[in-house]
């Protein structure tokens, strides 16, 4: 069974590239796209994806607030954010806000596809990128974390 994914990214070219990359995997089905926070919430409620992959800097309602709305309404949906910042405090507040994964924009496409497929039902919180040793030590106290270096 395919993993049903909603992609929320406000830059059209970037969104199209993400959709193209993840759609090449036979086990992933992109069922929708959104270009703003409110649209991401509405499309999630309509389509009920397995995974929502969204950026943090969505217009009209930032990605973190949109993620909270989605997780409150659809607790089984896994929400992964795509972010550019590898700062400790940015990762910490994002994960503590309830998203299921923090994926750096410089993550390899194979790792992104792996996380979408393998973590759609897992209870792990994903932090994907480089230099996550400090985070693993801190966050393992209360959560299960998978890291990629």
User: Is the pLDDT score of 34 beyond 80?
Assistant: yes
* Domain count along the chain: 1
Q: Specify the pLDDT at position 128.
A: 59
Query: 33-66: b or e for each residue (b if 16 or more CB lie within 10 Å)?
Result: bbbebebbbebbeeeebbbbbbbbbbeebebbbb
The domain in which residue 45 lies consists of 3-148
Q: Is there a contact between 5 and 18 (Cβ–Cβ < 8 Å)? A: no
Q: Specify the pLDDT at position 148.
A: 45
Q: Specify the pLDDT at position 91.
A: 80
pTM over cut 0.95: no
Percentage with pLDDT > 90 across the chain:
51
Residue 64 sits in a domain whose CATH number is 3.40.50.2300
User: How do residues 48-74 score in pLDDT, each as one tens digit?
Assistant: 999 999 998 999 999 899 999 999 999
Q: Specify the pLDDT at position 124.
A: 55
User: Is the pLDDT score of 147 beyond 70?
Assistant: no
Distance between CA atoms of 46 and 119, rounded to whole angstroms?
22
């Amino acid at each position: 069974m395919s993993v049903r994914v909603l992609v929320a990214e406000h830059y059209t070219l970037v969104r199209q590239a993400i959709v193209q990359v993840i759609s090449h995997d036979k086990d992933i089905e992109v069922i929708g796209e959104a270009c703003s926070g409110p649209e991401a919430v509405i499309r999630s409620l309509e389509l009920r994806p397995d995974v929502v992959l969204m950026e943090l800097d969505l217009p009209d309602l930032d990605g973190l607030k949109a993620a909270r709305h989605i997780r409150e309404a659809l607790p089984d949906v896994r929400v992964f954010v795509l972010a550019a910042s590898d700062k400790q405090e940015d990762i910490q507040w994002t994960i503590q806000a309830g998203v299921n994964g923090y994926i750096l924009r410089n993550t390899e496409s194979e790792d992104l596809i792996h996380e979408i497929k393998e973590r759609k039902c897992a209870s792990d919180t994903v932090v994907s990128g480089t230099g996550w040793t400090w985070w693993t030590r801190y966050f393992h106290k209360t959560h299960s974390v998978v890291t990629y270096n």
